[in-house]
């Protein structure tokens, strides 16, 4: 039995993974903890700057530990930072592999111009609304109501929550990504309007044992848009972790 831990993004909850429930294999044990940056818990988190330490605590609470950690959107940043810290300290990663889903990553501080702030902030309500639409499934929610729910979610996150995200994003150039030897799958969507797919490709190429899997036509929530495709990609990666390391393991192929 392989233990897979699913980490939700900013303002979401563990329910963001619910569409995948019927697609996991019987040999996979799923844990989807509620994290401090969920909509319900954000008031307790908004002043906390060491998000990687909070994530380490959440992973330590998984019975038996994690074989594979899957982090979506914002959660990809503290997971990457945690792996970087442990690699720099010569510590074991605490997991056999990681999947970074629609991540935010820029390798240089010069990659953050002033002009990126306003569009990033403006896209947040639309991202929340898209998540609400996809989670509604066969019971579609009227557009204006979706907008109201999305606005409420943004209010839950608030300026402190969003600034914690921005601060973490701005810190990604400081993460020692080339030192991370943990096998990593980076999933992106070529129609993601929130996290540019180019960042997924860049991150996969920077990781010594990184591989990109890009979903054609995919947006920011692949676990909701195509749960079968998503779990298939994770299963394939999980199976690969059980194979002996090859002599070319330092390569980082990028494909679909």
Is the pLDDT assigned to residue 235 strictly greater than 60?
Answer: yes
pLDDT of residue 244: 53
CB 156 within 8 A of CB 11: yes
**Mean pLDDT in residue range 228-236:** 97
72-86, 156-170, 197-211: range with lowest mean pLDDT: 156-170
9-23, 77-91, 127-141: range with lowest mean pLDDT: 127-141
pLDDT tens-digit profile of 219-231? 999 999 999 999 9
Q: Per-residue confidence at 246, pLDDT binned at 50, 70, 90?
A: very low
Q: Which residues, other chains included, contact 203 with Cβ-Cβ below 8 Å and sequence gap of 6+?
A: 80, 100, 103, 105, 177, 186, 210
pLDDT tens-digit profile of 63-75? 999 999 999 999 9
pLDDT of residue 42: 72
Is the pLDDT assigned to residue 215 strictly greater than 50?
Answer: yes
| Domains, the chain, ordered by start | 2-255 (3.40.50.1820)
pLDDT of residue 40: 65
| Percentage of the residues of the chain whose pLDDT score is greater than 90 | 72
**Mean pLDDT in residue range 66-86:** 97
Q: What's the half-sphere exposure (Cβ side, CA atoms, 13 Å) at 220? A: 26
Is the pLDDT assigned to residue 4 strictly greater than 60?
Answer: yes
CB 102 within 8 A of CB 194: yes
Is the pLDDT assigned to residue 128 strictly greater than 90?
Answer: no
Whole-number average pLDDT of the chain? 90
73-87, 120-134, 206-220: range with lowest mean pLDDT: 120-134
Q: Which of 174, 188, 168 is CA-nearest to residue 36?
A: 168
Bridge partners (DSSP) of residue 5 are 31, 69
Phi and psi for 249 in degrees, rounded to 5?
Answer: -65, -15
């Amino acid at each position: 039995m392989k233990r897979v831990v699913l980490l939700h993004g900013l303002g979401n909850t563990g329910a963001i993974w619910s569409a995948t429930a019927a697609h996991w294999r019987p040999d996979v044990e799923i844990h989807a903890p509620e994290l401090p940056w969920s909509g319900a818990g954000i008031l307790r988190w908004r002043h906390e700057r060491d998000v990687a330490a909070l994530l380490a605590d959440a992973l330590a609470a998984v019975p038996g530990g994690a074989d594979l950690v899957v982090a979506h959107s914002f959660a990809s940043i503290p997971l990457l930072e945690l792996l970087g810290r442990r690699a720099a300290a010569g510590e074991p990663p605490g997991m056999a592999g990681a999947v970074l889903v629609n991540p935010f990553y820029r390798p240089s501080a010069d990659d953050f111009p002033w002009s990126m702030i306003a569009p990033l902030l403006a896209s947040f309500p639309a991202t929340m609304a898209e998540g609400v639409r996809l989670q509604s499934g066969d019971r579609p929610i009227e557009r204006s109501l979706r907008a109201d729910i999305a606005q409420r979610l943004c209010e839950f996150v608030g300026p402190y929550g969003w600034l914690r995200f921005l601060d973490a994003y701005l810190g990604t150039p400081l993460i020692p990504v080339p030192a991370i030897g943990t096998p990593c799958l980076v999933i992106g969507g070529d129609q993601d309007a929130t996290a540019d797919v180019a960042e997924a490709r860049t991150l996969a190429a920077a990781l010594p044992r990184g591989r990109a899997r890009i979903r054609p036509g995919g947006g920011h929530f692949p676990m909701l848009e195509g749960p079968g495709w998503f779990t298939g990609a994770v299963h394939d990666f999980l199976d690969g972790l059980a194979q002996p390391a090859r002599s070319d393991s330092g390569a980082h192929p990028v494909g679909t």
